[in-house]
């Protein structure tokens, strides 16, 4: 029986090698490139240094006797410096005040979730702030019966801390970042005194106390807003720096959106953004007032010079829609009533608003050493014969003939 024929075997087909699939890294956008570059440039803090920083912040934020003693001393220095209008004294109070440490501790504890640290630091910050306000108010009130400082008007050092602007927010953000770097990196720690001066914390609190004692609510509110701005900005900036330095296990390069950031960091950033709104409003109003004040000074100066006088002092106040100006003018001749009327009309025309002026005149004599005074004859006393009383006739007997 014949076996079935088998088909000839086919040679194996040559298969083309499959192309190798290589994983291409995802394309980075500009923001991610900047984050990657920044992350590589940042100096990382090892575990030993992180533990040391946390221990130092914990110790500096503990509300013990030493902490409150420094609060009291710095409050006294700052309040008296504000009342006597001494910038150098106020700067000294900034260096003594220990408020920066609990604010940095609040930022770090919010980032790491350390409940004990945030409780102690928050208590130290709140109680220290209240003590500062009370001491400032007490010193200001005691100045009334015992006037060791004569206060005819608010000192300039107080006024400058009642109108916070967005610039103050940016200064506090930069100062908070610098403070966090100085605490985390030992080689940067000598910068801490400069940070304490740049980001004022104690003076605004003392301004709040001074405003409350004097019944100036606008002053107290302005000082409180400045303190809150500085505190929130410092805490937010320090959280970002501690986050970038590796105080949390999360890598900054893995952050692709704001949702990837820690919740506490997002909340602090949102709070700082909310503070920007009133600061922008106050800043715009302050710029408008400064521009208006500059225009008033220029117009009054020109008109006083035009009438031959010299402006010595100008006080402006708007009440009831009327700009009331009090001018102190030095002149070489007495001013007449008509001169004040003409001056008021000219100022009103140029400012295009209702103006009422009060002129205080100071007569001055102009002497030039190169021009000797002209000699004028001075009358001298001369003898003048004064007629005396005339003789009064007396009655004499007269013979009268009779018929």
> Which residues, given as ranges, of the chain have pLDDT below 50?
1, 253, 384, 390, 403
Tell me, what's the pLDDT at 190? 57
Contacts of 309-314 spanning 24+ positions with Cβ under 8 A: 309/335, 312/362
What is the C-alpha separation between 76 and 66, in angstroms, rounded? 16
- pTM exceeding 0.75: no
> How many helices and strands, by DSSP H and E, does the chain display?
13, 3
Q: Which two tokens stand for residue 145?
A: 């019966």
Tell me, what's the pLDDT at 139? 92
Tell me, what's the pLDDT at 253? 47
- Give which of 122, 117, 129 is closest to 54, Cα–Cα: 117
| Residue whose tokens read 């005074």 | 373
What is the C-alpha separation between 129 and 99, in angstroms, rounded? 8
Helix (H) or strand (E) holding 358: strand 355-363
Triad 203, 208, 209: Cα angle to 5°: 95
Any idea where the domains of the chain sit in the sequence?
30-290, 307-363
Tell me, what's the pLDDT at 202? 92
Biggest CA-to-CA distance, the chain: 233
């Amino acid at each position: 029986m014949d076996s079935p024929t088998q088909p000839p075997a086919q040679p194996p087909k040559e298969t083309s090698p499959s192309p190798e699939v290589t994983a291409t890294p995802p394309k980075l956008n500009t923001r991610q490139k900047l984050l990657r570059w920044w992350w590589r440039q940042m100096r990382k803090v090892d575990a030993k240094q992180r533990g040391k920083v946390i221990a130092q912040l914990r110790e500096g934020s503990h509300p013990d006797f030493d902490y409150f003693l420094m609060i009291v001393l710095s409050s006294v220095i700052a309040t008296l410096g504000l009342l006597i209008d001494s910038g150098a004294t106020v700067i000294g109070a900034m260096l003594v005040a220990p408020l920066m440490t609990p604010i940095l501790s609040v930022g770090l504890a919010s980032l790491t979730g350390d409940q004990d640290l945030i409780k102690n630091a928050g208590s130290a910050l709140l109680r220290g702030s209240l003590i500062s306000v009370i001491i400032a108010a007490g010193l200001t009130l005691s100045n009334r019966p015992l006037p060791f400082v004569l206060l005819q008007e608010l000192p300039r050092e107080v006024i400058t801390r009642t109108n916070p602007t967005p610039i103050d927010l940016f200064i506090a953000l930069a100062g908070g970042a610098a403070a966090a770097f100085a605490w985390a990196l030992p080689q940067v720690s000598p910068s801490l005194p400069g940070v304490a001066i740049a980001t004022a914390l104690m003076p605004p609190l003392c301004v709040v106390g001074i405003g409350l004692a004097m019944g100036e609510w606008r002053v107290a509110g302005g000082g409180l807003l400045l303190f809150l701005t500085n505190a929130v900005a410092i805490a937010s900036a320090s959280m970002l720096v501690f986050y970038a330095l590796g105080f949390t296990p999360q890598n900054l390069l893995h952050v692709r959106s704001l949702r990837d950031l820690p919740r506490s960091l997002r909340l602090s950033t949102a709070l700082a953004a909310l503070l920007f709104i009133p600061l922008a409003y106050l800043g715009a109003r302050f710029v408008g007032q400064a521009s208006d004040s500059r225009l008033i000074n220029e117009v009054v100066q020109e008109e006083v010079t035009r009438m031959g006088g010299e402006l010595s002092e100008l006080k402006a106040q708007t009440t009831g829609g009327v700009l009331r100006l009090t001018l102190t003018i030095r002149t070489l001749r007495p001013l007449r009533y008509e001169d004040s009327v003409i001056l008021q009309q000219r100022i009103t025309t140029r400012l295009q608003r209702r103006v009422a002026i009060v002129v205080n005149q100071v007569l001055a004599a102009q002497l030039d050493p190169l021009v000797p005074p002209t000699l004028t004859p001075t009358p001298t006393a001369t003898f003048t014969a004064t007629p005396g009383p005339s003789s009064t006739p007396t009655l004499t007997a007269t013979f009268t003939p009779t018929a």
